[in-house]
C-alpha cells in the first residue's frame, strides 16, 4: 500500500501565458512585442501576461456571470501592493484557465510559493504530486520580474546570471538574489534596463500545475 503525496503550503495559483506566447503582435498594444528568449531559452516565470484574457473581457463586460464572480473574488482577495493576483481556490483557477484558453490553449496554470508573499496573501494547501517545480523568479513587489526585465531584456549586461538560470529561465535556488538586484541597479544606471522604484524584492518559487 502506497502513501498519498503530502500536502504543501503555497501562496496561490495564477493563469499565465505559456512560455513563448507572452507577447502581442498588435503594433498598437502596450503589451510586449516579443517573448523573452535567450538563445532559444524561454522565460517561465511569474510575469507572463497574467490573467490577460480574463482582465480584457472583464473590462469589456463580456465575461459570463459565473466566471465574472470568480474573477471578482480574486480581485477582492488581492487588494494589496504586490502587483500579483493569485487565486486561493484551485477549482476556480482551473475554470478561469479553461475559459481563457477556449479553443486556443495558449495559457497554463502555475503555482506561486513565497514566504513573503504568503505573509501578505495567506496560504493554501495543494498536493505536492500536482506540482512540477520550475525554479525561482525574482520579483520587485509592485513592479516587475528582475529576471524577465533584466537578465532576459539585456543578457549581455547579465553574463554572470545567464549562466546561472536553468532550462526554464529561472534560478534553481533563491540564495544570492541580493547580488542580482545590485547588478540590476548598476545596469539601470547605464540605461540598459528600466530603473526600478524602491520596493521589496523577493524570490518566488514557480511551479506548473500538472
pLDDT at 188 over 70: yes
pLDDT score at 28:
65
pLDDT score at 2:
44
Q: What pTM did the predictor assign? A: 0.94
Mean pLDDT of the residues in the chain? 94
Tens-place pLDDT, residues 132-167: 999 999 999 999 999 999 999 999 999 999 999 999
HEC letters along the chain: CCCCCCEEEECEEEEEECCCCCCCCCCCCCCCCCCCEECCEECCCCCCCCCHHHHHHHHCCCCCHHHHHHHHHHHHHCCCCCCCCCECCHHHHHHHHHHHHCCCCCEEEEEEECHHHHHHHCCEEEEHHHEEEEEEEEEECCCCEHHHHHHCCCHHHCHHHHCCCCCCCCECCCCCHHHHHHHHHHHHHCCCCCCCCCCCEEEEEEEEEC
- Percent of the chain whose pLDDT exceeds 90: 89
- Mean pLDDT for 105-112 is 97
Tens-place pLDDT, residues 19-66: 999 988 776 677 787 899 999 999 999 999 999 999 999 999 999 999
pLDDT score at 46:
98
- Mean pLDDT for 82-102 is 97
pLDDT score at 27:
67
Amino acid at each position: 500500500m502506497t502513501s498519498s503525496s503530502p500536502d504543501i503550503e503555497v501562496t496561490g495559483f495564477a493563469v499565465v501565458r505559456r512560455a513563448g506566447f507572452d507577447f502581442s503582435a498588435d503594433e498598437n498594444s502596450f503589451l510586449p512585442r516579443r517573448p523573452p528568449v535567450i538563445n532559444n531559452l524561454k522565460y517561465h516565470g511569474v510575469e507572463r501576461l497574467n490573467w490577460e484574457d480574463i482582465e480584457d473581457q472583464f473590462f469589456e463586460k463580456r465575461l459570463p456571470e459565473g466566471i465574472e464572480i470568480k474573477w471578482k473574488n480574486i480581485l477582492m482577495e488581492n487588494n494589496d501592493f504586490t502587483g500579483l493576483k493569485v487565486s486561493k481556490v484551485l477549482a476556480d483557477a482551473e475554470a478561469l484557465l479553461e475559459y481563457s484558453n477556449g479553443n486556443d490553449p495558449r495559457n497554463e496554470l502555475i503555482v506561486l510559493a513565497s514566504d513573503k508573499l504568503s505573509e501578505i496573501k495567506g496560504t493554501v494547501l495543494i498536493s505536492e504530486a500536482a506540482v512540477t517545480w520550475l525554479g525561482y523568479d525574482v520579483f520587485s513587489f509592485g513592479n516587475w520580474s528582475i529576471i524577465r526585465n533584466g537578465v532576459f531584456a539585456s543578457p549581455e549586461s547579465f553574463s554572470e546570471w545567464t549562466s546561472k538560470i536553468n532550462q526554464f529561465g529561472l534560478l534553481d535556488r533563491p540564495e544570492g538574489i541580493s547580488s542580482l538586484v545590485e547588478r540590476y541597479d548598476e545596469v539601470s544606471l547605464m540605461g540598459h534596463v528600466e530603473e526600478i522604484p524602491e520596493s521589496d524584492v523577493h524570490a518566488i518559487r514557480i511551479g506548473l500545475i500538472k
